[in-house]
A and B are shown apart, each in its own frame.
Chain A
Amino acid sequence: MIDTTKMTEQRFRSLVEAYGGDPARWPVDEREAALGLLETSATARAAVDEARALDAVLGKVSAPLVPSELTSRLLADFTRASRRWSPGRLAVWLADAVWPGAPLWQPAMAFGLALAIGIGVATFAPLDLRPSDDTSGAFALDTVPDNGQDI
């Protein structure tokens, strides 16, 4: 584990050997301490000068141009991929239809929560389906109402 609170000449050398002589490339949490040492140490300045010579050479590389044919190929791939249906794409499409613009986890979470509540209600709610002792209701449905008339 690197101690970032203090900077020794040895650690400074390791840092410069790894990241080069440009402080912008040094680890953020050690930069301030390293710059402090650089102000006071001739050894540190020599290490930086040495590293900057290599940095300058590496910086002479030309950046490659992006061929327009490559961008066309990538966009053609996108068109093909977006026409292809997959379970993931279907899930995204459904989520977007239900909850436009939200990340996929939000409608998925809402659906999961609704499902959990439904299962919970079905499992634990006191739903008593045993036949009741009072059969008058059933009787009433099964018999013709007595209007006091003889049939």
Chain B
Amino acid sequence: MMIDPDAELVARVGRGDRAAAERLMLRHLPKMLALAKRMLSDSAEAEDAVQDAFMRLWTHAGRWQPGQAKFETWLYRVTLNKCFDRLRRRPTVALEAAIAVPDPSPGPASNLERVALSGQIAAAMAALPERQRAAIELCHYQECGNIEAAEILGISVEALESLLARGRRALRIRLLHLKDGQ
């Protein structure tokens, strides 16, 4: 039987335990926020999507049935669906905005180059179709296994591999000039 490392915390959250809610949030928020930022290419919108996903967690934790699905897989799926909802509501793909997306975290001047590089990678990711972007986000950045990533996206492993291969091919064309640190 699958052992879910979050099962106990989720059960406590369902009983209204604030300390458990905080621990669960700190464990998963950085990953969910990174996923939403790369999916949406907009920091404020990503934070709103993640807030929606956690609101769903807070209201559904009491009904969580351990053993049916891994909690993290469920949370990835909810967060990703919140991102897809927002992407579909957009009138156009904000590629120009994506270029300005690099995380504006404060840092020394030596970080500027890294921030600029992040911006180029974010723009290349933003240019991908949303399913390809989600597949690369899950398998490359979130380090999900192929079966878990396919389950999150609701597709077969073969379909996942097809999305990944097409996505990586497009990224290679856009980004390989950066490989020598340019």
* Interface assignment of A38: CB less than 8 Å from any CB of chain B: no
Task: Tell me whether B161 and A18 are in contact (CB under 8 A).
Answer: yes
A71 to B25, CA, bound (A): 8
The answer on a CB contact under 8 Å between B21 and A78 is yes
Question: What 1/0 flags go to B9-30 for Cβ under 8 Å of A?
Answer: 0010111101001100110011
Which residues of the partner chain B approach A58 to less than 8 Å between Cβ atoms?
121, 136, 140-141, 171, 175
Contacting A at CB under 8 A, from B132-182, are: 136, 139-141, 143, 145-147, 157-158, 160-162, 164-165, 168-169, 171-172, 175-176, 178-179
Least Cβ–Cβ distance between B81 and chain A, in angstroms: 18
Residues of chain B in range 53-78 having any CB-CB distance to chain A below 8 Å = 54-55, 58-60, 62-63, 65-66
B18, B168, B169 interface centre (most CB from chain A within 10 Å): B168
Q: Answer whether A57 and B178 are a contact pair too, CB < 8 Å, given A2-B158, A73-B51, A74-B54.
A: yes
Q: For the complex, is B92 an interface residue (Cβ under 8 Å from A)? A: no
In contact, B62 and A88 (Cβ under 8 angstroms): yes
Q: Is A149 among interface residues, defined by CB-CB distance under 8 A?
A: no
Q: Is the CB of A60 within 8 A of B118?
A: yes
Q: Which of A44-76 contact B (CB under 8 A)?
A: 51, 53-58, 60-67, 70-71, 73-75
A14 and B157 CA atoms in complex are apart in Å by: 13
Q: Which residue from chain B places its CB closest to the CB of A1 in the assembled complex?
A: B158
> Cβ of A92 and Cβ of B47 under 8 Å apart?
no
**Number of contacting residues on B, CB 8 A?**
62
Q: How far is the CA of A54 from the CA of B173 in the complex (A)?
A: 10
A interface residues, tally (CB under 8 Å): 47
In angstroms, Cα B25 to Cα A96, docked, is 23
- Secondary structure of the B contact surface, majority rule: helix
> Is A6 an interface residue, CB under 8 A from the partner?
no
Contact in complex: A60, B117 (CB < 8 Å): yes
Does any Cβ of B come within 8 Å of A105's Cβ? yes
Stretch of A19-27, A109-117, A119-127, A130-138 on the interface side: A19-27
Q: Which residues of chain B are within 8 angstroms of A19 by Cβ–Cβ distance? A: 139, 146, 161, 164
Known contacts A18-B164, A74-B29; 19 further A-B pairs (Cβ under 8 A): A2-B157, A14-B165, A18-B165, A20-B168, A28-B145, A58-B141, A61-B122, A61-B141, A62-B118, A63-B30, A64-B37, A75-B22, A78-B21, A79-B18, A81-B55, A84-B59, A88-B60, A103-B66, A105-B65
**Shortest beta-carbon contacts, A-B, top 4:** A81-B58, A18-B164, A92-B62, A18-B161
Interface residues of B (CB under 8 A from A): 11, 13-16, 18, 21-22, 25-26, 29-30, 33-34, 37-38, 43, 47, 50-51, 54-55, 58-60, 62-63, 65-66, 102-103, 105, 111, 114-115, 117-118, 121-122, 136, 139-141, 143, 145-147, 157-158, 160-162, 164-165, 168-169, 171-172, 175-176, 178-179
